[in-house]
Amino acid sequence: MDSKVLILLITFCITGCATNLPADKQNYIGFWESAREGRVFVSMTIWPSGTFNYARSDDGGNSKINMPITEFTDKEFVSGYLFTFAINSPPTYVDEKWTMVIDGVILTKKDKGIFAKPTPTPTN
């Protein structure tokens, strides 16, 4: 099989596997980012369709992922069957802002005007 056809087939299989996020994961939907010394360190977008866009920039270079979320548990989610992200702290609404911790990085939800605002869940 031609390598271009194989790459296309694999890409189609990976990107075609997105499913809508479960009802209990709706607070993850949105554009999230962290800052490190005034510059963006990690940004990610989780779409209602389950599509996941991720970018990380640090001293080691840059990386980007644009794949569907293929598995989502309370402890982690997997993007494209290849990349696992640990959920250290789920989305929490405190002081009128949403935050979560993924792979040890604190992320804050930024309103880009393209997502409906989730209903804040009271915290204890």
- Per residue in 37-59, pLDDT tens? 656 689 999 999 999 999 998 87
7 pLDDT band, cuts 50/70/90, is very low
The yes-or-no verdict on residue 23 having pLDDT over 70 is yes
Query: Per CATH, which fold does 3-110 belong to?
Result: Lipocalin (2.40.128)
* pLDDT per residue as tens digits for the range 95-122: 989 999 999 899 999 976 666 666 666 5
**Contact status, residue 73 vs residue 86, Cβ threshold 8 Å:** no
Which pLDDT tens digit goes with each residue over 52-95? 999 998 877 888 999 999 999 999 999 988 899 999 999 999 89
Domain ranges of the chain: 3-110
